[in-house]
Structure 1
Amino acid sequence: MPINVNNEEVLERRSRETPLETAARLRAEFGIVLSEQARKPLPRPVYDELSGDD
C-alpha cells in the first residue's frame, strides 16, 4: 500500500510541473547538460519553415 500512495504523490507533484521544470528534471535525471547555444531559442523563420508557413 505505501508504494501506491507514493506513486500518487509523485504523479500529483509532476502534474503541477511546468514544461520547463519537467525538462530540467529529466535532464538532471539523465545527466544531460545543455550548452549556452542550446539554451537559446531558434529564430522564428526556423519554426515557420518546420510548420510549412512561409
Structure 2
Amino acid sequence: MCDFEADSLCSWQNVQQGDDFDWIRYRSSTPTDDTGPDFDHTLKNDKGARMF
C-alpha cells in the first residue's frame, strides 16, 4: 500500500533518458488553470499530494 503523502514515488519511476518529462510530486492545485483534481483522494482535501 502506498500513497504520495510520504516523500516517495511508490513504485513509479522517472526514466532519465528518452522521455519528454518527469513525474513531480505536487501539493495544492496544479500550476495551470482548469487542470488536475480539485482534491486529493487520500486526504479528501486540497492539501494532499499527487503526481503531476
Which TM-score band (shorter chain)? under 0.3
Please state which structure has a larger fraction of its residues in strand: 2
TM-score norm. by structure 1 comes to: 0.23
Structure of higher CA gyration radius: 1
Please state which structure has a larger fraction of its residues in helix: 1
